[in-house]
A and B are shown apart, each in its own frame.
Chain A
Amino acid sequence: MSKIVRTVANQLMAFVLVFGLYVIMHGHVTPGGGFQGGAIIASGVVMLIVAFGSGQIKKFLRERRLSLVESSGALLFILVAFAGIGTVFFYNFLVGSRIFGGIPPTGSNPGDVWTGGVIPLMNLAVGLKVTAGLSAAVLALALFSSGEEMEE
């Protein structure tokens, strides 16, 4: 792609990242959540792949490392679920505690990020996972169809 496209993509990526993180971290207050925010960031990565070509992106984003990040995200998610097993698997044990423990007033309210118990943590884990996973899949498809050799 031309230099203009590359520069614009480069600058836009910062905004895409910020917006994606916002959607992930406010998933329990406003519309959005881990999947949606992860998809936003992954689409930013796709934009970079389109602008720079998969060969360039490969130099600093390896699909192998991405898949490790994805494993860690999935691991974090299932560990948060396991943490509730003192009562029941998936028990929302953080509601009412110090971390994200606020309980919003019933009915319509302005919203507070410091609520939701484990939901923000799970949003974060899923966001990490979806970002890395979708980027890795798209990168692998792009690399393979452009004929680049992939690592194991």
Chain B
Amino acid sequence: MATLIGHSSILIIAVPLLIAFLTPLIGMASKKARNAVVIVGLAFVAFLVFALARDVILNGIHIYTLGATFPGLTIPEGTMVPVRIILEVDGVSVFMGIIVAIVSLVAVIYSLSAMKGETGQNRFYTLLLLMVGGTFGMVFTGDLFNLFVFLEITSISGAALIAFRTRFADSQEGGFKYIVVSAIASLMILFAIGLLYAQYNLLNIGALAAAMQYTMLDRIALVILISAFVMKLGGVPMHMWLSDTYSVAPVSITVLLIAASQASMYALMRICFTLYGVTLDLAVVGWIIIAIGLLSMFIGVTMAVRQTDITRLIAYNCVCEAGFMLVGLGVGLAVLGDRTALGTYGTTAISGAIFHVINHALFEGLLFLVAGAIFYRIGTRDLNQMGGLGHTMKFTAMFFLLGALASSGIPPFNGFASKILIYESVYQFNPILTIIGILVSIITLAVFVKAFFSAFTGALLPKYENIKEVPKTMIAAMTIFAVIIIIFGLFPGLIVDWMVRPATDALVDQASYINAIMGAIP
């Protein structure tokens, strides 16, 4: 068991890749065997993630040096810097890992019946596993170039999966957009990595953070990195691609795309808090991120009001919720250098943002799954053509209501638990931000109530009289999300203490991240 945990950080990345390479071979022989292998593999990975999470929270940062004579040998003899690729798993990484593990399991369970009858399933599952492996790699790696490589894996397999339904022109265009945006973003990231490498001859995040001088070139690299990652997570100046891709992908893929966007959010946190840390012009960068967040909230919610397509509506809601996280992060970043302010409200703001990351993945995932279930049964996403579906699809209607209430921050659900953390801490920083946030939440609620009434209530339309509830595996997938949402909503204190607080401490504590790589520096 100890050896398994010792190697778990690499196994979590390598096992999905291994199964992905195996899937085409197994799929030739038997479809059932393939599905079984995929589910068992992902369940094993999820088990490893939870075991690793427990270990990291109890024993601190987990280091794995690839190709060295033993995993802890970060710096070889005869030099002062790390040479090999190092996986570095701390509280935040493992927190993101938990999100990816849950989301990927649910996505596969949902796909089992949602994809029935489609061609090309072998390749579908292969690419899905590659995407999961890529997202795990993004959150676990401690090396900048490795981050870029895994970002590429995620975006290429994501683009191919978005274009899965080749009979619709929309999907092809969505895939094209996604890959163009991610190619530009990742090449700019590589350029910024080159700028950092040119000055310090290092690629490891911890070692770079220790050597950081914050010169002119570092500022250029910072601007490029922030804009590229904001582009990848769908922040406002570059949010156009998000609604076009999320709405056309198969929904189980959309759920994974949300997780991939959250991994970009994680990368943004890493860049700001760990790579640059206190050397930044904290107030300036913090306010820039707050501004991006405010714009995202505002534009996301106003665009959502106008949508009649249910998936596009939810996609714009994603932009809006990403804004909340960015505001929380920005406030935390702005006061990072100020010990007292950080203690009174800074860490709370960051906790709120981090907690909102997992809540966002859960309730947006649930909403997308519901939209996918409706599409599966009636073949349209247009809200105006729906009506009275609540009579026949009772579970689906209930799940939609649950997701909508959680998303708008209504008390007994998880969205409230994280939004209240953001509101109360941001209020101490700047009250106007909180007022805007509450307003945006209210409009979100209005949007979802409108959508709920037009889709599920009213008289049952005659053409939908034969519509049945969706298959059991789809219900099971949605139930997993729903149960976690309710648990998180009922016991937010426990979750914050066990998972969110360690993640926040790990994010703020730049020194121990560096020490884990470079050894204790006096």
Asked whether any CB of A lies within 8 Å of a CB of B in the complex, the reply is yes
- Chain A residues at the B interface, C-beta cutoff of 8 Å: 67-68, 71-72, 74-75, 78, 81-82, 84-85, 87-92, 152
Interface residues on B, range: 20 to 34
Query: What are 13 of the A-B contact pairs (CB < 8 Å)?
Result: A68-B28, A71-B24, A72-B25, A78-B14, A78-B18, A81-B14, A85-B10, A88-B64, A88-B66, A88-B67, A88-B70, A89-B67, A91-B68
A89/B24 in contact, CB under 8 A: no
Q: Indicate whether B30 reaches chain A with its CB closer than 8 angstroms.
A: no
Residues of A within 8 A of B70 (CB): 87-88
Min distance, Cβ A101 to any Cβ of chain B, angstroms: 16
Min distance, Cβ B238 to any Cβ of chain A, angstroms: 29
| Known A81-B14, A152-B120; contact A88-B68, beta-carbon cutoff 8 A | yes
- Among B10, B66, B67: residue with most chain A CB under 10 A: B67
Min distance, Cβ B89 to any Cβ of chain A, angstroms: 14
A71/B25 in contact, CB under 8 A: yes
B18/A84 in contact, CB under 8 A: no
Q: Indicate whether B79 reaches chain A with its CB closer than 8 angstroms.
A: no
Given contacts A78-B18, A90-B67, 13 further A-B contacts (CB under 8 A): A67-B24, A71-B21, A72-B25, A75-B21, A75-B22, A88-B64, A88-B67, A88-B68, A88-B69, A91-B67, A91-B68, A92-B67, A152-B120
- For window 17-72 of chain B, which residues contact chain A by CB distance below 8 Å? 17-18, 21-22, 24-25, 28, 64-71
Q: Indicate whether B215 reaches chain A with its CB closer than 8 angstroms.
A: no
Q: Which residue of B lies closest to A75 (CB)?
A: B21
A152/B67 in contact, CB under 8 A: no
Q: Indicate whether B7 reaches chain A with its CB closer than 8 angstroms.
A: yes
Q: Which residue of B lies closest to A85 (CB)?
A: B7
Bound-state CA distance A40–B66 (Å) is: 30
- Among B21, B64, B66: residue with most chain A CB under 10 A: B21
Instruction: In the A-B complex, list the 9 residue pairs whose CB atoms are closest, starting with the nearest.
Output: A90-B67, A74-B21, A89-B10, A75-B21, A90-B66, A71-B24, A71-B21, A78-B18, A88-B71
Q: Which residue of B lies closest to A77 (CB)?
A: B21
Bound-state CA distance A78–B18 (Å) is: 7
B10/A91 in contact, CB under 8 A: no
B67/A84 in contact, CB under 8 A: yes
Min distance, Cβ A126 to any Cβ of chain B, angstroms: 13
Bound-state CA distance A90–B10 (Å) is: 10
A88/B17 in contact, CB under 8 A: no
